[in-house]
Amino acid sequence: MLKRPTDLRLRWVLVSALAGGVMLTGCDQIGDRANRAKEIAETSAGQISGETVVDESLRNLEAASMADRALAGTVMAEFVVDEEERPMFAIGSIIAKPIDIAPTAAMAVEDTAFSAEEIEYFEEEYYYEEDAAAGDTPDAAPAPSASAPENAISREAAGDIVQMEQVLPTITIDPRAAAKTEKSIEAADKEVDQLVLEEPPLARRLKKMTREEFKALPVEEKAEIRKLARRAPVVRETLKAQIDANSVMADTMSKYNIGGAVALSREGQMVIQIGPDGASPTQFKGPVVDPAVFLARADSAECTQGTQPADVVGDLALATACVVRDLRASGQFEYVEPDFIFQNQFVRRNKDAPAPDTTAGTGTTGGTKTPTQPASFRPNDPLWNLQWHFRDRGTADGRSAGGAGFETFWNRQGTTGSRSVVVAVVDTGLQMAHPDIAGSPNIMPGWDMVSDARMGNDGDGRDSDANDPGDMCDPTKANAADSFHGTHVAGTVGAAATNNGSGVAGGAWNVRIVPVRALGKCGGRLSDINDAIRWAAGLIPAEGPGATEVWNENPADVINLSIGLLGACPASLQDAIDSVTERGAIVVSAAGNARMSTSFYAPAGCRNVVTVAASDARGQLTPYSNFGAEVMLLAPGGDLTRDDNGDGKPDGVLSTKAATNCFDPVTGQGVASCNYAYEQGTSMAAPHVSAALALLKARTPSATKDELIATLRGALDPRQPLQCSGLCSQYPGTTAVPGSPDMCSRPCGTGLLNLAGIPAAPTGGGGR
């Protein structure tokens, strides 16, 4: 508990600490900031000396245990872009897709609106045998309506659809034994021919229902059926095309005297692992290996026209580049690309300032009590009052200039989420033992998609354990530490148990969260991310024990990708994104933190994604955030170099994650470790939007993905030119703001996320 010094001394200490800790950047006025610091300090002094009513959330903070309130984060002296983060790829791993593979249709219609025509088509697709028994024949059935998706499987093609309980075959290529390679190809071809044709399970389930029973189902249950119907069947023609492509792959690998293993897929996207002995990194069981052994800079392994097979001997990175080049030149593939390495989108902490004086009050605007929300929709989590990013936008008490309006949404809509809504977080996994997560009812079974055991950092490859064991790459690098990035991101969405009197609150309190681990030590492979996206949406199965299929039984409505790669959108990633969005999932992407155009970043620059740039506590674009025409909107990402709300703490986003060098926000005393931390990055902005879309889906369960996005966009707060500007010297190639020749505009979407602008839902539209 804080001691009560004299008012004069207290005010002097607070004003000095706040004025000294606030960082001045851009076009801020020093006098204005000093006055603001003095105003907040005086308000805080009045609060501590008993002149004002203490906010109930502050009482929660003081009453909470150390474990429930200690946090990490200091005001940074400055932000520096890490110039070393050039694109890398996994040595010996290639992604390819043969030409002329038709899109793999889901078993049923797209997860869209339930119009009368679509329901009729949906029913006809599954009840035609019943109709035939009544005297109608399949040939006499009406043609699919115009509203039905073009890729819906026709009845004539149904005989070529395979449902499996075992994973697809893998082909081995041995340059030293052509007969062995041919035998492996023939075995895979024979296995495909012998696959048992079977009616999809969902079709059998629906046939047990009458049409009246189906029509009478609640909207939420119909939506669940549609999501399960996304599951991609196995089409023989797709597998045959992949098997046929192995001939040209075998010739190419023989040219460079390397072997390989080729994994087939339901949608045609193959992963080729090459090496002198064709060994797969998924089988790696040795001690920790230097990342330089299995990762390479994209610009350090360029296969030119003059590169000869003899030049690649002993250089597997160069061999990888040459195989990619030759396969592309063969004309047999839609795309061939290296297995690029993606990184999380935390902003690296470079130069920390001394920890601020945390006795400067804990309220974001002075801590005076304002009766804004009913108790049931105001979280009692002790750190809630420090989460400025969820607060309503404004300058009055209890608001934040950079807030996203979650408070008003919860209250006005009467919902904090719905159990029928699922958000998948494709990231570093989740700290399952985190005290604010371990007991959360929101966490659903996830999957570890990290295939390379050297990157997995958990002793094996893919499995059902989505726990985050840490991802530190180079322990000798300054500020190296495990990021626990996925835990922070998922906590913002809603993984943290909200209103439980512990720690922080999440944006969507009552939705299902599916953690999908795709990033491990040193980042995540593109091939793993592609599979993670498809598995999250419920399109493909994972491989379980005994080579059995394991499906995601909670297919995602929203998939959060707080990841990034410096480079144009890889074709295989675009393929995966298109697959899931065509079937009704929404993909939300962080814009990236390299303060460059999103057209040079992925997945931010991919099509069919909601790209989110980061704003600070003022509602302005942060200096680290990427920008560009692909950005749809701004959302709170935080800025650890600022303290615009004057609470003596950095204006980062506060969420769940294990951290060290922490402090007690009540006493200011140091704490060795804690479970909550301020972070900054477009990684923090994206989950705010994912949570917002989940809340909108809970509010209106029947809304399509396009309707949800349109509703979100319609409520954005229009931005002003200076909100997305920066010094022209820092952002070359941008356009000067009229009247401010030193400031240049950076395209950052049409506005700022503000859920307070969403109109009240129709009667019966939501659910707590």
Q: Are 518 and 463 in contact, with CB atoms under 8 Å apart?
A: no
Annotated catalytic residue 427: yes
Four-CA torsion 119, 124, 125, 126, nearest 10 degrees? 100
Structure tokens at 562: 């707080």
Structure tokens at 306: 């003059």
In total, the chain counts a number of residues equal to 768
Q: Are 11 and 42 in contact, with CB atoms under 8 Å apart?
A: yes
Local structure of 584: helix, strand or coil: coil
From 174, 427, 639, 644, active-site residue? 427
Question: For residue 468, how many C-alpha atoms fall within 13 Å in the half-sphere facing its CB?
Answer: 32
Element (H, E) at 691: helix 682-699
Annotated catalytic residue 389: no
Structure tokens at 220: 């939420």
Backbone angles phi, psi at 539, to 5 degrees: -85, -40
From 683, 690, 725, 745, active-site residue? 683
Residues contacting residue 75 through CB under 8 Å, at least 6 positions apart:
21, 22, 23, 352, 353, 356, 640, 641, 642, 643, 649, 650
CA 707 to each of CA 113, 443, 513: distance values in angstroms, whole numbers, following the listed order: 9, 27, 22
Please state, in angstroms and rounded to a whole number, the distance separating the CA atoms of residues 118 and 146. Answer: 9
Q: Are 640 and 348 in contact, with CB atoms under 8 Å apart?
A: no
Please state, in angstroms and rounded to a whole number, the distance separating the CA atoms of residues 120 and 593. Answer: 47
Neighbours of 305 (CB within 10 A): 5
Backbone angles phi, psi at 370, to 5 degrees: -130, 120
Annotated catalytic residue 683: yes
From 485, 557, 597, 643, active-site residue? 485
Angle, helices 526-537 vs 571-582, to 10°: value is: 0
Neighbours of 437 (CB within 10 A): 23
Please state, in angstroms and rounded to a whole number, the distance separating the CA atoms of residues 69 and 42. Answer: 24
Q: Which amino acid is at 514?
A: V
Alpha helices (H) in 358-462, listed in sequence order: 406-413, 453-456
Question: For residue 397, how many C-alpha atoms fall within 13 Å in the half-sphere facing its CB?
Answer: 17
Q: For residue 735, what is the DSSP state? A: E
Local structure of 713: helix, strand or coil: helix
Least Cα distance to 507 among 686, 746, 258, 668 occurs for 686
Judge if the upstream peptide bond of residue 5 is cis by omega within 30 degrees of 0. Answer: no
Please state, in angstroms and rounded to a whole number, the distance separating the CA atoms of residues 123 and 61. Answer: 55
Backbone angles phi, psi at 254, to 5 degrees: -65, -35
Please state, in angstroms and rounded to a whole number, the distance separating the CA atoms of residues 227 and 108. Answer: 9
Backbone angles phi, psi at 12, to 5 degrees: -65, -40
The three state secondary structure string of 204-252 is HHHHCCCHHHHHCCCHHHHHHHHHHCCCCCEEHHHHHHHHHCHHHHHHH
Q: Which amino acid is at 331?
A: G
Structure tokens at 460: 């094996």
Q: Which residues are annotated as catalytic?
A: 427, 485, 683
